[in-house]
């Protein structure tokens, strides 16, 4: 049992940043780091992983891997684990990553720590920190089976260039169409120039104080000026101003950007759970007593309809 | 068609978390059905109202307190319940094994659950159950249609959404945006008291993970708060964004 494997999260060859975050972090464990990529027409990507520290890159090519499907991916990964016996396998805590890791873990009768924000891995031992109650508390958990399996939250580990050999290895392809049980009829990409909430460096969120679509429009203007993702509190989602995929909080997404700007959000504990790990928090709210100010590094007591337009002008200066 | 819904009892999402003797304290906490599972219950009841489902069975694994979650689901309109008595320290593996065992004996056509629990946030149990049963699954769905022995769902996906079809029987986990759960009516609450709930013991299996410790986040210190003319405040905030947070402004 040797080597820390990092499963590459990609679609159509577009690799998610969290992959490099995991490779960079895995280097700290001292063990050999291997990137594992399944896909179609993806062999050319291998040097990218070497740049961040992949000693080896396991490349699995085939039509059946053209897009993520649980059956084929689990069958292939289980066979590779059997053959190469890695000490640990890390996945991104994306929709695909958690789906993949959960089904794989059960197939291997193994434990799994999901959505981890800190990892200590040594030979035969994996201890992880994960947020529970959406960040209101944390649990340190040990995965007591092998290989050690975990899914990693995006944005918590730093990406660091650390060139390594990146020796390309092509394992036997065992998964076939017969392993596929999900018929994916259609994939509709989100058409947005904005980054995704969970990966964004800056998040601008709107709440009840936005009062309606006009307020949300201001939030969006500010977001675009900062290259930010747009989010919302439950009040904004329940009022129908934003779709559920934009919700930040315990029943939505947990974000951890460098900068979080809360506009017209009072800061219910439900919401705070989803954003309080942001590096810098700023808030604009008319109520000086709003709980959001208890966590804000910089707060403006004021009307967002007046503050945001001026703020945009100031930022452009 | 028989639909089985897995529900977990969790803390109210407005609850403040505190530790007692190194464990998460449930003193004074309002317990609810995990909001994601509540949506699964609603989805199942709607299938029954449309005449697609003939029976809706609610299953929960946990302590005796989980009975409240089952009763709530029954009050919403589910037909009967099964409480799997299990140590609350059971991990995702142990819970999935216990629930799958009951599913096997119930033999439903469709299993519904929330895609994640608001307490541990693991997102593992429905997918693990599907693997144990050897059934297909679809996670994080936002719509569902059943036809010709298949289930077709829209779901949230990384960077978009997708439409996936699998054969029944299947395990489907849902996103909260699938539907708006109903409040139990007074009549529903009265009827729920008479609906049957069986109690079974969980299959004894060992956990595959071990909790070492729980801890609370460090309290964040409130920073600067400015009041006054919007122009002045906005200028100070802009300065903070550019010079303290060091965020680049797009042209």
Per DSSP, what are the bridge partners of residue B82?
B59, B198
Tens digit of pLDDT for each residue in B55-76? 999 999 999 999 999 999 999 9
Is residue A186 one of the residues assigned to a domain?
A: no
Whether residue A165 sits in one domain with residue A80: yes
* Contact between B159 and A189 using a beta-carbon 8 Å cutoff: yes
* Contact between A70 and B137 using a beta-carbon 8 Å cutoff: yes
Q: Which CATH number covers residue A231?
A: 3.40.50.1220
**Nearby residues of A209 by Cβ (< 8 Å), 6 or more positions away:** A215, A263, A264, A265, A266, A284, A285, A286, A304
**How far does the CA of residue A265 sit from the closest CA of chain B (Å)?**
15
Whether residue A132 sits in one domain with residue A247: no
- The structural domains of chain B, with segments of one domain joined by +, span 2-201
Q: Which CATH number covers residue A106?
A: 3.40.50.620
DSSP letter for each residue of A115-174: EEEEEEEETTEEEEEEEEGGGTEEEEEEE-SSSEEEEE-TTSSPP-------EEE-----
Is residue A184 one of the residues assigned to a domain?
A: no
Which residues does chain B have within 8 Å of residue A139's beta carbon, measured at their own beta carbons?
120, 211, 213-214
Which residues does chain B have within 8 Å of residue A288's beta carbon, measured at their own beta carbons?
225, 227
Per DSSP, what are the bridge partners of residue A11?
A14
- Retrieve residue B251's tokens: 């042209």
- β-pairing verdict for A4-7 and A33-39: parallel
Is residue A252 one of the residues assigned to a domain?
A: yes
Whether residue A205 sits in one domain with residue A160: no
Among chain A residues, CA nearest to B224: A298
* Across B204-218, average pLDDT: 95
B30 and A CB contact within 8 Å = no
Q: What pLDDT is stored for residue B251 in this prediction?
A: 64
Mutate to test the interface with A, among B99, B131, B180 (most CBs of A within 10 A): B131
Whether residue A262 sits in one domain with residue A123: no
**Number of structural domains chain A divides into:** 2
Q: Is A302 annotated as a binding residue?
A: no
Whether residue A310 sits in one domain with residue A201: yes
How much of chain B, in percent, has pLDDT values that exceed 70? 100
CA distance B116 to A233: 19
How much of chain A, in percent, has pLDDT values that exceed 90? 91
Tens digit of pLDDT for each residue in B124-172? 999 999 999 999 999 999 999 999 999 999 999 998 999 999 999 999 9
* Across B34-51, average pLDDT: 98
- Domain of A242, in residue numbers: 197-316
DSSP letter for each residue of A180-210: ---EEEEEEE---SSPPGGG-SEEEEE-GGG
Q: What pLDDT is stored for residue A192 in this prediction?
A: 82
Is residue A191 one of the residues assigned to a domain?
A: no
Question: Is residue B36 predicted with pLDDT exceeding 70?
Answer: yes
CATH 3.40.640.10 fits B2-201, yes or no: no
- Domain boundary residue, one of A130, A150, A179: A179
**Nearby residues of B83 by Cβ (< 8 Å), 6 or more positions away:** B60, B61, B62, B64, B66, B67, B70, B197, B198, B199, B200
Is residue A207 one of the residues assigned to a domain?
A: yes
Interface confidence (ipTM) of the complex: 0.94
Site of tokens 């747009």: A230
Is residue A205 one of the residues assigned to a domain?
A: yes
Instruction: Indicate the length of chain A as a whole number.
Output: 317
Is residue A187 one of the residues assigned to a domain?
A: no
Q: What is the pLDDT along chain A (317 residues), one digit of tens a residue?
A: 799 999 999 999 999 999 999 999 999 999 999 999 999 999 899 999 999 999 999 999 999 999 999 999 999 999 999 999 999 999 999 999 999 999 999 999 999 999 999 999 999 999 999 999 988 899 999 999 999 999 999 988 999 999 999 999 999 999 999 999 999 999 999 888 899 898 899 999 999 999 999 999 999 999 999 999 999 999 999 999 999 889 999 888 989 899 999 999 999 998 998 998 899 999 999 999 999 999 999 999 999 999 999 999 999 98
């Amino acid at each position: 049992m040797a080597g820390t494997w990092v499963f590459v999260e990609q679609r159509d060859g577009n690799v998610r940043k969290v992959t490099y975050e995991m490779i960079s972090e895995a280097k700290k464990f001292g063990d050999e780091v291997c990137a594992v990529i399944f896909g179609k027409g993806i062999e050319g990507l291998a040097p990218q992983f070497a740049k961040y520290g992949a000693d080896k890159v396991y490349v699995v090519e085939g039509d059946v891997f053209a897009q993520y499907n649980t059956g084929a991916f689990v069958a292939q990964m289980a066979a590779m684990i059997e053959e190469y016996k890695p000490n640990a396998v890390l996945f991104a805590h994306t929709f695909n990553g958690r789906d993949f890791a959960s089904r794989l873990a059960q197939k291997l009768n193994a434990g799994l720590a999901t959505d981890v924000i800190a990892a200590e891995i040594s030979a035969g031992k994996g201890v992880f920190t994960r947020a529970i109650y959406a960040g209101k508390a944390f649990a340190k958990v040990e995965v007591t089976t092998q290989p050690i399996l975990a899914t990693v939250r995006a944005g918590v580990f730093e990406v660091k260039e650390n060139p390594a050999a990146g020796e390309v290895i092509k394992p036997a392809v065992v998964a076939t169409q017969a392993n596929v049980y999900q018929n994916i009829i259609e994939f509709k990409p989100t058409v947005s120039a904005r980054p995704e909430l969970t990966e964004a460096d800056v998040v601008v969120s709107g709440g009840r104080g936005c009062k309606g679509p006009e307020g949300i429009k201001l939030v969006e203007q500010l977001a675009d000026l900062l290259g930010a993702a747009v989010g919302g509190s439950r009040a904004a989602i329940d009022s129908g101003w934003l779709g559920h995929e934009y919700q930040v909080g315990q029943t939505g997404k947990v974000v951890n950007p460098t900068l979080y700007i809360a506009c017209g959000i009072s800061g219910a504990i439900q919401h705070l759970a989803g954003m309080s790990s942001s590096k810098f928090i700023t808030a604009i709210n008319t109520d000086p007593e709003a709980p959001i100010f208890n966590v804000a590094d910089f707060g403006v007591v004021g009307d967002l309809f007046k503050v945001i337009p001026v703020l945009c002008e100031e930022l452009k200066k | 068609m028989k639909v089985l819904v897995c529900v977990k009892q969790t803390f109210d999402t407005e609850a403040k978390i505190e530790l007692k003797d190194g464990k998460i304290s449930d003193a004074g906490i309002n317990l609810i059905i995990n909001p994601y599972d509540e949506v699964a219950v609603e989805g199942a009841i709607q299938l029954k109202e449309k005449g697609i489902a003939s029976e809706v069975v609610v299953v929960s694994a946990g302590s005796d307190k989980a009975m409240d979650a089952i009763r709530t689901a029954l009050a919403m309109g589910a037909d009967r319940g099964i409480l799997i008595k299990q140590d609350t320290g059971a991990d995702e593996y142990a819970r999935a094994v216990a629930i799958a065992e009951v599913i096997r004996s119930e033999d439903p056509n469709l299993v519904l659950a929330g895609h994640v629990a608001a307490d541990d946030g693991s997102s593992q149990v429905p997918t693990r159950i599907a693997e144990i049963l050897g059934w297909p699954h679809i996670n994080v769905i936002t719509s569902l249609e059943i036809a010709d022995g298949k289930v077709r769902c829209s779901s949230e996906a990384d960077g978009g959404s997708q439409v996936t079809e699998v054969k029944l029987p299947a395990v489907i986990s849902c996103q909260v945006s699938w539907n708006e759960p109903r409040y139990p009516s007074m009549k529903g609450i009265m009827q729920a008291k008479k609906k049957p709930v069986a109690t079974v013991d969980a299959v004894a299996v060992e956990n595959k993970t071990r909790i070492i410790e729980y801890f609370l986040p460090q309290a964040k210190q409130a920073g600067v708060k400015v009041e006054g003319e919007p122009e002045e405040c906005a200028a100070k905030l802009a300065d903070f964004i550019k010079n303290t947070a060091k965020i680049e402004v797009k042209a």
